[in-house]
């Protein structure tokens, strides 16, 4: 998993500063959002408060999943999240503004590909998560049909994906293992291709590189 150059987060977040309303409107009546949200909820993970979403954006997932805290480097989406009742703070994943052992869960949904340093983020997770608190990561596998579509958008300079660095499930698993995190549950969904998405899908237990979206829950094994 390639780490980005220092301070690329400023560039990565620029489009979300400029087009926050457009991004927020995408969620309205979105079948894709409904499927992804259901996959996360299917894990039925219990966690204590407060929980944090890193890369909270306009707060759509945080609101649906009852996540009370959110950080994002882009301010306009944070203002939308605040209107949805999310306690929002402008910050980056690699420098979490929280005290040691203060959080009951961390969610990283669709944001891994934009991180400046995934390794530094996981180090921060170890610092701020309480004992046995879960880390939940959502991922579009790089080699899936959905990952390939995002790669094509990136190559064409799509404003929301031009800086994305997609990863495979195997790469994410290796990264988690290197930082002492053990996966305890997972689910996969979006087997319909992007061009043929028509119906709601129930998530399947386990991890599948062919799925368009996977969600992984892990805990640190030395906590």
Each residue's pLDDT expressed in tens, for the chain with a length of 223 residues: 544 444 554 555 555 555 656 666 667 779 999 999 999 999 999 999 999 999 998 999 999 999 999 999 988 889 999 999 999 999 999 999 999 999 999 999 988 988 989 999 999 999 999 999 999 999 999 999 999 998 898 888 776 667 778 899 999 999 999 999 999 999 999 999 999 999 999 999 999 999 999 999 999 986 4
Structure token pair of residue 96: 């979490």
Element (H, E) at 39: helix 31-42
Give the Cα separation of 197 and 200 in Å (integer): 8
**How many Cβ atoms from other residues are within 10 Å of residue 119's Cβ?**
14
What are the tens digits of pLDDT across the range 106-122? Answer: 999 988 988 989 999 99
CA proximity to 72, closest of 27, 14, 130: 14
What are the tens digits of pLDDT across the range 155-192? Answer: 887 766 677 788 999 999 999 999 999 999 999 999 99
pTM: 0.89
Altogether, the residues listed in the chain come to a count of 223
Give the Cα separation of 10 and 144 in Å (integer): 28
Phi and psi dihedrals of 79, rounded to 5? Answer: -65, -35
Give the Cα separation of 168 and 60 in Å (integer): 25
Q: Where are the domains of the chain?
A: 8-220
Contacts for 31 with CB less than 8 Å, ≥ 6 apart: 197, 198, 200
Q: How far is CA 174 from the centre of its chain?
A: 17
Give the Cα separation of 46 and 202 in Å (integer): 20
Give the Cα separation of 162 and 180 in Å (integer): 31
9: three-class secondary structure by DSSP: helix
Strand order in the sheet with 69-72: 87-90, 69-72, 51-54, 105-109, 135-139, 213-220, 181-189, 204-205
Q: What is the fold, at CATH topology level, of the domain defined by 8-220?
A: Rossmann fold (3.40.50)
pLDDT given for residue 4 in this prediction: 44
Structure token pair of residue 37: 């949200």
């Amino acid at each position: 998993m390639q780490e980005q150059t220092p301070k690329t987060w400023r560039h990565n977040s620029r489009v979300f500063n400029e087009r926050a309303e457009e991004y927020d409107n995408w969620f309205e009546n979105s079948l894709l959002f409904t499927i992804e949200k259901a996959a996360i909820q299917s894990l039925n993970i219990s966690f204590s408060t407060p929980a944090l979403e890193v890369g909270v954006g306009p707060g759509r997932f945080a609101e649906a999943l009852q996540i009370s805290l959110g950080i994002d480097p882009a301010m306009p989406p944070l203002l939308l999240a605040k209107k949805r009742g999310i306690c929002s703070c402008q910050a980056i994943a690699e420098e979490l503004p929280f005290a040691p052992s203060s959080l009951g869960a961390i969610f990283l949904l669709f944001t891994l590909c934009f991180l400046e340093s995934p390794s530094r983020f996981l180090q921060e997770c170890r610092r701020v998560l309480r004992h046995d608190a879960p880390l939940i990561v959502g991922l579009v596998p790089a080699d899936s049909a959905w990952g390939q579509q995002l790669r094509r958008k990136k190559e064409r300079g799509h404003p929301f994906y031009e800086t994305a660095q997609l990863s495979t499930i195997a790469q994410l698993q290796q990264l988690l293992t290197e930082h002492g995190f053990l996966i305890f549950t997972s689910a996969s969904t979006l087997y319909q291709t992007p061009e043929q998405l028509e119906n709601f899908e129930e998530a399947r237990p386990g991890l599948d590189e062919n799925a368009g979206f996977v969600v992984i829950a892990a805990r640190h094994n030395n906590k």
